[in-house]
Amino acid sequence: MFWITLVIGLAGTAVALALAGRRVLFLYNTAMAGQPDPDRVLQVKRDKKADIEGQVTEVLGQRKLLKWTLAGSAHAAVMWAFFLLATVYLEAAVALLAGLDKKIPWLQTWGPIGFVQDTIALACTAGLIVFTAIRIKNSPKRLERKSRFKGSHLSGAWITLFMIFNVIWTMFFYRGVEWANGNLDYGKGAYFSYLVGHLFDGLSHHTLDVLESIGLLLHIGVALVFLVFVVHSKHLHIFLAPLNVMFKRRPDGLGAAQPMMSGGKPLDFEEADPDEDVFGRGKIEDFTWKGFLDMATCTECGRCQSQCPAWNTGKPLSPKMVILELRDHALAKAPYMLASEEQREKFTDEQKLAMQVDKELVGEDGVIHPDVLWSCTNCGACVEQCPVDIEHIDHILDMRRFQVMIESSFPSEAGVMLKNLENKGNPWGMSEMKRLEWIEELDFEVEVVDDKVSEDTEYLFWVGCAGALEDRAKKTTKAVAELLHIAGVKFAVLGPMEACTGDPARRLGMEFVFQMLGQQNVETLNDAGVKKIVATCPHCFNTLANEYPQIGGNYEVVHHTQLLAHLVEEGKLTPVAPIEEKITYHDPCFLGRHNKVYKQPRDIMATVPGVKTQEMHRHKDRGFCCGAGGARMWMEERIGKRINTERVDEALTTDPDTVSTACPFCLVMLGDAINEKKNSGDAKESLEVVDVSQLLIRSIKGEGTAQEKEPVAAE
């Protein structure tokens, strides 16, 4: 019996490993057919501590998954079962190779080990029951778009649950017979195996030997079949997730958009050749190997989809489906990508059609529909929620870059914005001299940089285009200037020398205009000797702090809420007048998820007497976008419900007196939606949206709630 079991076991193992190895080699070669990305490897070498921390917290600790407590706990149980039950397979290997009665000293004789093995197996079974219930409850057939599993390959998920269940029951069958046959030396430590073993009481030794051999082969066979299935399915993430976490970008928050790369190096626009260099992603081969790793790692869990503001308002963009469609296209085209020129010539038209050789990456009949590409607000909810650190925004942005810079294909309204940026240095096309008009409404002088900032100037106040030119945002600008003046903080502004940071151009995909504006601003800032900057716009803040270092601009940049919270804490600003209002705060995406600034705006409101804060259901890292990011501020929203309307509907559920925020774009978008609600009678006339700095200055100046609120002006 031993030799029969050994031959069957080794033959099955050899076949399974050969099939799995062939698939792994195919996937590796496919990924390596993409563009190089040397920085990913270098960052691991430079920052091994961060890599270890990522593996401990995200892979072993399941940090992101546990944000969703029930599903996260179930996944943690199943994942740890894979780790801990590897010891059972080690025991099975010993039994297969050396005989059913052979044991590894201590490892197979110490009761607590058997206890842990049985306990994690039962916990895994409980996890499978939870997963089954979740998938039935959230079935796309029942919930349609509201199901995070809509669009996922559902059959693969059910097969996986079934295969894991097979691993568990074959383990207990094998170990139960093993105990009954006197070959399980954990005693009652392996308590459930011990209980199962009693089912086989009274059987002959020969019968038990046969059953134990069958149980051993079943347990090993299930694992081998599961291995082959895993490398051909979405559950490849079992092996790839640690790699994707290792090679992920590592900013504190989402941080900067990545520079355009070609051949693993930053693209030099002055020397670039459109025929030789890669401008964004125009075909699947243009993605880097990290892009292919993202595609292969996707678990299809749909967490990104459930949080996406575009998907939640009826638009065609699902971050999950973007990755899956790219993955399916990559796998279809892989044989062509990996073939030599001689082999490619031999492919028939039918074969090329099946391999999607001529299919557009972005197009009406392409892999990604243009409406999908242009629905993205760059809010970062997808990246924040992804348990395996897929970088959806980077891939969407790179596809936009090709469409804008090579195909000249983008929403027409955005073209006006680009021309204004190129000709006037701001998205609205206003005169640069208008950037100083807000100062005339103040009763104190503001230093305007002429050549260099004066030695006693602590901060350059980066006003931004909206802060200088948009009426609602100018109120924030004036409030911040007054607060800095009251606190005795010496600051200066660039005035006409300030140009748009280039964020709208970069997020649209027009990297050339971003580079042009960015280099102009960096030269201005460096020539002026600027070291520290305070900005009211989170988009400017993110660009100045995280993206300008890519082009030689290195400054200490703070958002105004960070500086104001610090000044209040130091006692340089003291709110006195109570504001007896219920206020709900909206987290700007580029301040919150992109830069992890959640605490300071709330701290400011907490110091104002009388204020009662009420969080919306979606807040902080799960906050819902206003709809203006990703250059969407300058594009019409023609599909589905307006994102800003959805967000205001959510705000209204808190019955607020005021909606506060900390971003000029959010101020405009939420203000417009509130006006619509007022006109339809769905919001009280006194409701307004203000920046937190406006609340603070109102309290400090003793105005409180006695001040008559100004209605939100329509644009």
Q: pLDDT (tens digit, 9 = 90+) per residue, 600-612?
A: 999 999 999 999 9
At 575 the pLDDT is 95
User: The domain spanning residue 344 has which CATH number?
Assistant: 1.10.1060
Question: Same structural domain for residues 103 and 200?
Answer: yes
Question: Same structural domain for residues 405 and 490?
Answer: no
**What is the tens place of the pLDDT at every residue in 411-464?**
999 999 999 999 999 999 999 999 999 999 999 999 999 889 999 999 999 999
Question: Same structural domain for residues 504 and 438?
Answer: yes
Angle, in degrees to the nearest 10, between helices 692-700 and 471-487? 50
Statement: residue 713 has pLDDT above 60: no
Would residue 445 count as lying in a domain? yes
Would residue 40 count as lying in a domain? no
Statement: residue 275 has pLDDT above 90: no
- Write out the two tokens for 624: 């819902």
At 705 the pLDDT is 66
- Write out the two tokens for 228: 């082959």
Give the CA count within 13 Å in the CB-facing half-sphere of 53. Answer: 7
CA 67 to chain centre: 14
Question: Same structural domain for residues 396 and 440?
Answer: no
Statement: residue 267 has pLDDT above 50: yes
Would residue 259 count as lying in a domain? yes
**What is the tens place of the pLDDT at every residue in 330-376?**
999 999 999 999 999 999 999 999 999 999 999 999 999 999 999 99
Q: Which residues pair with 533 in a beta bridge?
A: 460, 557
Map residue 575 onto helix, strand or coil.
coil
Name the DSSP class of 311.
Answer: H
Full domain range(s) for residue 85: 2-32+64-245
- Write out the two tokens for 493: 């502004």
Q: Which residues pair with 613 in a beta bridge?
A: 583
Map residue 180 onto helix, strand or coil.
helix
Mean pLDDT of 114-123: 95
Question: Same structural domain for residues 400 and 475?
Answer: no
At 561 the pLDDT is 98
Question: Same structural domain for residues 545 and 582?
Answer: no
Would residue 38 count as lying in a domain? no
Mean pLDDT of 7-36: 94
User: The domain spanning residue 588 has which CATH number?
Assistant: 3.40.50
Statement: residue 27 has pLDDT above 60: yes
Question: Same structural domain for residues 334 and 452?
Answer: no
The whole-angstrom separation of Cα 286 and Cα 279 is 9
519 CB-contact burial (10 Å; exposed 0-12 / middle 13-18 / buried 19+): middle
Would residue 50 count as lying in a domain? no
Candidates 28, 33, 29; CA nearest to 283 is: 33
**What is the tens place of the pLDDT at every residue in 172-224?**
999 999 999 988 888 889 999 999 999 998 899 899 999 999 999 999 999 99
The whole-angstrom separation of Cα 445 and Cα 485 is 9
Side chain identity at residue 616, one-letter code: M
Examine the fold and report which residue of 567, 582, 599 is the final residue of a domain before the chain moves on.
Answer: 567
The structural domain count of the chain equals 4
Question: Same structural domain for residues 157 and 80?
Answer: yes
At 707 the pLDDT is 44
Statement: residue 714 has pLDDT above 80: no
pLDDT bracket for residue 704 (50, 70, 90): low
Least confident of 173-187, 318-332, 478-492, 648-662: 173-187
Mean pLDDT of 266-271: 85
Least confident of 129-143, 220-234, 499-513, 694-708: 694-708
- Between β-strands 459-462 and 532-535, what pairing exists: parallel, antiparallel or unpaired? parallel
- More confident: 657 or 254: 657
Question: Same structural domain for residues 21 and 122?
Answer: yes
Map residue 675 onto helix, strand or coil.
helix
Measure the CA angle with vertex 220, ends 215 and 221; round to 5°.
Answer: 95
Would residue 533 count as lying in a domain? yes
Nearby residues of 443 by Cβ (< 8 Å), 6 or more positions away: none
Residue 424 has phi, psi (to 5 degrees) of -120, -10
Would residue 140 count as lying in a domain? yes
At 98 the pLDDT is 82
Map residue 230 onto helix, strand or coil.
helix
Give strand ranges (E) for 482-555: 491-493, 532-535
Question: Same structural domain for residues 9 and 149?
Answer: yes
Q: Are 581 and 658 in contact (CB under 8 A)?
A: yes
Residue 103 has phi, psi (to 5 degrees) of -135, 155
pLDDT bracket for residue 715 (50, 70, 90): very low
At 107 the pLDDT is 76
Nearby residues of 318 by Cβ (< 8 Å), 6 or more positions away: 150, 151, 304, 305, 308, 311, 372
Examine the fold and report which residue of 357, 384, 409 is the final residue of a domain before the chain moves on.
Answer: 409
- Write out the two tokens for 602: 């709330």
The whole-angstrom separation of Cα 221 and Cα 216 is 8
The 532-535 sheet, strands edge to edge: 447-448, 491-493, 459-462, 532-535, 556-559
Candidates 546, 257, 245; CA nearest to 386 is: 245
How high is the mean pLDDT of the chain? 93
Q: Are 631 and 403 in contact (CB under 8 A)?
A: no
**pTM of the predicted model over 0.75:** yes
Statement: residue 326 has pLDDT above 70: yes
pLDDT bracket for residue 53 (50, 70, 90): confident
Question: Same structural domain for residues 438 and 323?
Answer: no
Least confident of 5-14, 67-76, 257-266, 267-276: 267-276
Question: Same structural domain for residues 526 and 671?
Answer: no
Examine the fold and report which residue of 211, 245, 279 is the final residue of a domain before the chain moves on.
Answer: 245
Q: Are 178 and 215 in contact (CB under 8 A)?
A: yes
- Kind plus residue range of the DSSP H or E element containing 104: none
Would residue 53 count as lying in a domain? no
Q: Where are the alpha helices (DSSP H) in 138-204?
A: 140-143, 154-180, 191-197
